Amino acid sequence: MLIEVKNLEKIYTDEDVETPALRGVSFSIKEGEFVAVTGPSGSGKSTLLHILGFLDSLTKGEYLFENKNIDDFSPREIARVRNKKMGFVFQMFNLLRRTTVLENVKLPLLYSGVKEALWNDLALKAIEAVGLSHRIDHHPSQLSGGEQQRAAIARALVNNPQVIFADEPTGNLDSKAGQMIMELFQKLNEEGHHTIILITHETYTAQQAKRIIRLRDGKIESDEITNHRLRADHFSK
Amino acid sequence: MTLKYYFKTASIGLGTYKSRTALTILGIVIGITAIILILSLGKGAQNLILSQIQSIGPKVIAIMPGRQPKGPTDILSTFTDSLKQRDLDALSNKSNVPHLETIMPVVFGSATAVYGSETFQPTILGVTDYFSQIYGIYPDEGRLFTDDEVKSYADVAIIGSKVKTELFGNDEALNQKIKIKGRNFKVIGILSKKGQVSFLNFDEAAFIPYTTAQQYIFGIKYFNRIVVDVDDAKNVLTTVEDITITLRNSHGITDPSKDDFFIQTSEQAMQIVGSITSVLTLFLVAVAAISLLVGGVGIMNIMLVSVTERTREIGLRKALGATEKDVLMQFLLEAIILTTIGGIIGIILGASLSFITSVVLSKVAALNWEFSFPVGGAFLGLGVSALVGLIFGLYPARQASFKSPMEALRYE
């Protein structure tokens, strides 16, 4: 099992006021799945993604990544898992300004221990996979929103991770650019065999995943295989 | 991550905020510039004074009245009139001071010299013709005093080049009469341009026989100084001993702590000058170092702002696999690179300013000033500036490394 959570709870404490974000969430995700986590704002979906992505700590419950309890990872191992096994795609893209697409995509390689001689080829391969080869020397400010998100996906791909976490990846894009991103995720899932866990509040975006987990008030409302799964290219054509 | 990439990442970070980077290092630049400038000028001044003392020669001994000043109260209690004619006679006696080759008493002061309607206030030095040999200065025109002129209280003067132009302009000065304290002095020699030597500007001086100076100009019976030339440099120490014994006898002193004179050799003078300039330089460097401290605090301040501003970048790097150490090294190296660049600019700037100063001093003030680049000071400056970066960069860098990736990514 790639990911397994049992009775996961997360409580934010701010000046002694406790705000529960997750109240007992359990599910598991196998390698190769394409899961959309959806729900209204405040349902705890972002918190869940951050915990799954080793970016935030949990308050109660258990989280096993590749059958290993999160408590058993040292800080060094956590950094290593984030670098090698996980890829992150954010709503705000989070590309470094005044740095080219190529350099941005290389960023995870800096921390990877991969030989420097291989960096260029790996980065170019990832950029090619997202169809941005004609933009490698551009700065983020010279790219459209869709192109910036594709650069960010290339960065998430460069270390060939098991799982890609995407936090509202289409939230800042117009519908056409958003569809191209969803098409890319489907392709990466089907052809590249990457597990994809995606957060969205848009129903039609969620319906392009293979499985939908609906959250409400920090609890799972439903967890089911997508019935009438939408093909992303259906929209863009 | 390899060191090379730590450097690269840090450089990119700095390059992104160019104008701020430049302003941030200004404090370090000023501090290092000041230190290099002071060290360089201090060395130049020391070399200048030492070369002047050296030019007087190692065989020359100066005897001064009073006690060697050791503190401010000593200066008050110095005797100024303890060296008299009988001392000169006693020292001139070969059986007292066998290695003495030449002896010259000196009296000095200031008086107004008049020629026609022109006046000038030269330093008046009462000497013998031997002054020319000691100070290595000879008349361009005319001649030195004769022994007879010294013995007979003659009214003759040898004047410095500036005294000549001030009083005579382009007119002929030789054999003209100038009036000092109501007496007419015949100009028998005009010195070549020499400039400042230790504490005396030879161009603004007039040399007359010491006898005349004592009797008619200053109205005194003592000498301000007695200068002795020893036959050989190796006999200097013995001669100092001989002079001390002779003068104590002459003054009836048995307790050495009651000496009313002191003796200085060139070597001693060089040591004293060396230690004075070293202490002075050190003091000024310490003052300049304060600006480095201020510069360091400035660096820390800006690094803290930078860390806050780049919170999202830090979060991103951590999300992509950077460890705490990676982030710490990135920001620490940014600070160190920043201050080291400041240090290098400061060294170049300080050395350039010192070089310009040396050119100005030798061209305008006619000093024999040589530019000296403080190699040790440059390395010190480089090391200190890197250290400032390390010390003042550590706190902001730690702040950066402790940020949780989630908090950092959420930061607006």
The pLDDT assigned to B310 comes to 85
DSSP β-ladder status, A195-200 and A163-167? parallel
Which neighbouring-strand residues pair with B29? none
Size of interface A-B (CB pairs under 8 A): 58
Cα separation values, B265 from A194, B54, B62, B271, Å: 90, 11, 6, 10
The pLDDT assigned to A235 comes to 55
Cα separation values, B392 from A38, A192, B310, B389, B396, Å: 46, 47, 18, 5, 8
For residue A180, what is the domain's CATH number? 3.40.50.300
Asked if the structure places residue A205 within a domain, the reply is yes
* Predicted confidence band of residue A233 (pLDDT cuts 50, 70, 90): low
Q: Nearest chain A Cα to B1, which residue?
A: A111
pLDDT of residue B75 exceeding 60:
no
Low-confidence winner among A120-129, B60-69, B114-123, B389-398 (lowest mean pLDDT): B60-69
Closest-CA distance, B334 to chain A, in angstroms, reads 17
* Predicted confidence band of residue B412 (pLDDT cuts 50, 70, 90): low
Given an 8 Å threshold on Cβ–Cβ distance, is A75 in contact with B324? yes
Asked if the structure places residue A4 within a domain, the reply is no
| Among B252, B250, B270, CA closest to B47 | B270
DSSP states of A116-155 as a string?
HHHHHHHHHHHHHHTT-GGGTT--GGGS-HHHHHHHHHHH
Contacts of B319 in chain A (CB under 8 A): 53, 55, 82, 88
> What is the Cα–Cα distance from B90 to A140, expressed in whole angstroms?
95
From B12, B322, B406, residue closest to A111, measured CB to CB = B322
The pLDDT assigned to B52 comes to 74
Asked if the structure places residue A214 within a domain, the reply is yes
From B2, B321, B409, residue closest to A108, measured CB to CB = B321
Which neighbouring-strand residues pair with A164? A87, A196
Type of residue numbered B339: T
Give the rounded percent of residues in chain B with a pLDDT score beyond 90.
Answer: 23
Contact A188, A196 (CB under 8 A): yes
Asked if the structure places residue A229 within a domain, the reply is yes
Given an 8 Å threshold on Cβ–Cβ distance, is B1 in contact with A111? yes
Give the rounded percent of residues in chain A with a pLDDT score beyond 70.
Answer: 97
Length of chain A measured in residues? 237
What tens digit of pLDDT does each residue of B181-226 get? 889 999 999 988 877 665 678 889 999 999 999 999 988 889 988 9
Q: Please provide the average confidence, as pLDDT, over all residues in chain A.
A: 91
Given an 8 Å threshold on Cβ–Cβ distance, is A82 in contact with B320? yes
The pLDDT assigned to B11 comes to 78
| Among B20, B2, B16, B27, CA closest to B339 | B27
> What is the Cα–Cα distance from B122 to B143, expressed in whole angstroms?
20
From A53, A94, A116, residue closest to B316, measured CB to CB = A94
Given an 8 Å threshold on Cβ–Cβ distance, is B319 in contact with A79? no
Calculate mean pLDDT across residues B243-268: 85
- Total domains in chain A come to 1
pTM score: 0.69
Domain ranges across chain B: 3-53+271-410, 80-259
Q: Tell whether B313 lies on the interface with A, counting CB pairs under 8 A.
A: yes
Asked if the structure places residue A53 within a domain, the reply is no
> Which residues form the domain of A97?
28-48+74-236
From B16, B321, B322, residue closest to A97, measured CB to CB = B16
Q: Strand, helix or coil at B310?
A: coil
